[in-house]
Chain A
């Protein structure tokens, strides 16, 4: 790749434009493919199903992790335990969002843009969120219907020792 591109522009579904450093963009497999493909000259990349609010968060994650990678490389290889722990703490704070929906949208954005670290982090966060919840609460979160018949429910309750509530 010989092009001296240092930044790319991504456009949210709301039409807002944001600049991303190449290093940050490389955190996304999708964007990375585009950047390393010489046959594509990038001007603006539309990300149709990601709103401004979510895109801002995603870019923040990518930049932080790109910075961390660069710092690690500069130090000659492996991150120390304390540096890794610091990044983990940052990740934990980052995932503290006020509304559950936001969490899901970040997860889907990470899936769409193929940002592995963010995808794993978001999956884990959602998993932790639903771990202790009842089936009823889960249905509400994921907007699902209970389509078991009463007989099926009875049989399953016995097998799995759980309630359907």
Chain B
């Protein structure tokens, strides 16, 4: 060994922060110093930022995607099954796909699932059961069902997932309507929060503002520490926000973004760390997507029409943005996922498809954050921690 390699120690974090989680788990066995480094919160944070942001244009596009497909499964003859998969797509137009749910449990009975996140590399998969997953660490935690008061039922559920930096906690929030079994009388809406740190649900004593939440959210909008839903009241469109730290609601009126509520659809989204709204026509063989951005978060007067994306032939509904690659993700009229390059206006067909209007796509991120939580709670009952078996993402960025 040549001299002066001592100072190499100083740059070891910079080197290691560029490695995928799979490698780091192995390298934690090199010596105690490397073990401590890889487990340290500072390094975990550095790695989260560095690894997921150093992408070159030539790197493959890695997504966590969800779709439903029709087929006959299992003895009950369920004809629709939901899949959550890791999709890696590179410019040579070839892709590899790994069905994540298949590795966790038998999901033949699952015909609906929602992906929330990523939040620092953690994803919440909302179905029966609800799970918080870190695919790169191959860890998942199954949550107990959100509690319901006896003799009641719910028709609507709106979910959110986010991070509270004050308590360093990941939270799942569920907003539910509540009706009495006996009389069908409606009670106030309930808000329940699951905290990863405390492994349990608790009721939040705060009133839902008098708005209606659209029963369709497929683009994650956790931004500025709050989760957002597209909603409305008699006066028009608005965004409902739930602050993950203070656990309070706020509403933001949206300007006349939709020329007509019958012909146009709106959805919340995230764009460059800002709250955004995408408006587009319900029907048409060629669509333009209006992107509105709340330039100054919280200030209703700061909504700006950022750009018009398209026109895109055969477009269906938006799926979100992949900003590292300057891409707009969408589903076409036939349920197929398509990428639209915001700079070159080039369209890339991925060949990935599901039933119409069933797709969801979010960026795949690697992270060293464990879903074990800060302390093991023996009362965690139905929640348990498991490891997704190998292999996961052989080759590619792994």
Identify the A interface with B (CB < 8 A). Answer: 49, 81, 84-85, 88, 101, 104-105, 107-108, 111, 119-120, 123-124, 126-127, 130-132, 134-135, 138-139, 142-148, 153, 156-157, 160-164
Q: B277: shortest Cβ distance to chain A, in Å?
A: 29
Contact status B32-A148, CB under 8 Å: yes
User: Which residues of B (362-388) have their CB < 8 Å from a CB of A?
Assistant: none
Residues in B with CB closer than 8 Å to A138 are 27, 30
Query: Are B11's CB and A146's CB within 8 A?
Result: no
Cα distance A157–B26 when bound, in Å? Answer: 9
Whether A156 pairs with B2 at a CB distance below 8 angstroms is no
Contacts A108-B7, A127-B19, A142-B8 known; A81 to B57 CB distance under 8 Å?
yes
CA distance A17 to B19 in the complex (A): 37
User: In the complex the two chains form, is A130's CB within 8 Å of B15's CB?
Assistant: yes
**Which of A88, A131, A147, A148 sits near B56, CB closer than 8 Å?**
A88
CB <8 Å contact, B8 and A104: yes
The reply to whether the CB of B23 lies closer than 8 angstroms to some CB of chain A is: yes
B29–A101 touching, CB < 8 Å: no
Are B25 and A126 neighbours in the complex by a CB distance under 8 Å? no
Query: CB distance A146 to B8 under 8 Å?
Result: no
Additional A-B contact list (20), CB under 8 Å, known A123-B14, A144-B31: A49-B7, A88-B58, A107-B8, A108-B11, A119-B14, A124-B18, A127-B16, A127-B19, A134-B26, A142-B8, A142-B30, A144-B34, A145-B31, A146-B30, A146-B31, A148-B31, A148-B32, A160-B26, A161-B390, A162-B26
Q: Is the CB of A123 within 8 A of B27?
A: no
Residues of B within 8 Å of A163, CB to CB, are 29
The 6 A-B pairs of least Cβ separation, nearest first, read A127-B18, A162-B26, A135-B30, A135-B29, A143-B1, A101-B2
A138 to B28, CA, bound (A): 11
Q: Which of B24-68 contact A (CB under 8 A)?
A: 25-35, 54, 56-58
Chain B residues in 8 Å Cβ range of A84: 57
The reply on B151 being an interface residue by CB < 8 A is: no
**CB-defined contacts of A162 to chain B, threshold 8 Å:** 25-26, 28-29
16 A-B contacts, Cβ less than 8 Å apart? A101-B2, A107-B8, A108-B8, A111-B7, A126-B15, A130-B19, A130-B23, A132-B23, A138-B27, A142-B8, A156-B35, A160-B28, A162-B25, A162-B26, A162-B28, A164-B29
- Give the nearest-CB partner of B1 in chain A: A143
Partner pick for B54 among A49, A88, A124, A148, CB 8 A cutoff: A124
B10: interface (CB < 8 Å) = yes
Whole-angstrom distance from the CB of B286 to the nearest CB of chain A? 27
CA of A164 to CA of B14, assembled, Å? 23
Chain A residues lying within 8 Å of B2, measured Cβ to Cβ, are: 101, 105
Least CB distance from B300 to A in Å reads 35
Residues of A with C-beta under 8 A to B390? 161
Name the one of B5, B11, B18, B29 contacting A143, with C-beta atoms under 8 angstroms: B5
For A147, list chain B residues within 8 Å (CB).
31-32
Smallest distance from the beta carbon of A101 to chain B beta carbons, Å? Answer: 5
CB B143 to nearest CB in A, in angstroms, measures 23
Determine the residue in chain B with the shortest Cβ distance to A132: B23
**Chain A nearest CB, measured from B21 CB (Å):** 11
Residues of A within 8 A of B33 (CB): 144
Interface centre among A88, A131, A145, A148 (most CB of B within 10 A): A131
Residues of B within 8 A of A132 (CB): 23
CB distance from B1 to the nearest CB of A (A): 5
Among the listed B5, B26, B32, B34, which residue makes an inter-chain contact with A104, where contact means beta carbons less than 8 Å apart?
B5
A85 surroundings in chain B (CB, below 8 A):
58
Q: Which residues of A contact B29 (CB under 8 A)?
A: 135, 148, 153, 156-157, 160, 162-164
Evaluate contact between A101 and B5: CB separation under 8 angstroms: yes
Residue of B nearest to A149 (CB): B32
Kindly identify which residue among A49, A146, A160, A164 contacts B4, using a CB–CB cutoff of 8 Å.
A49
Q: Which residue of B lies closest to A134 (CB)?
A: B26
Which residues from A are CB-within-8-Å of B14? 119, 123
Most central of B1, B10, B54 by chain A CB within 10 Å:
B1
Contact between A144 and B30 (Cβ–Cβ < 8 Å)?
yes
Tell me the complex Cα distance, A156–B31, Å.
Answer: 11
* Alpha-carbon separation in the docked complex, A159 to B12 (Å): 23
Chain B residue contacts of A160, Cβ below 8 A: 25-26, 28-29
Complex contacts, B7 vs chain A, CB 8 Å: 49, 108, 111
Q: Which residue of A lies closest to B20 (CB)?
A: A131
Contact A108 B31 (CB under 8 A): no
Chain B 124-165 against A: per-residue CB contact (8 Å), 1 yes, 0 no? Answer: 000000000000000000000000000000000000000000
Q: How far is the CB of B244 from chain A (nearest CB, A)?
A: 30
Q: Is the CB of A120 within 8 A of B30?
A: no
Assess the B25–A123 pair: CB atoms within 8 A: no
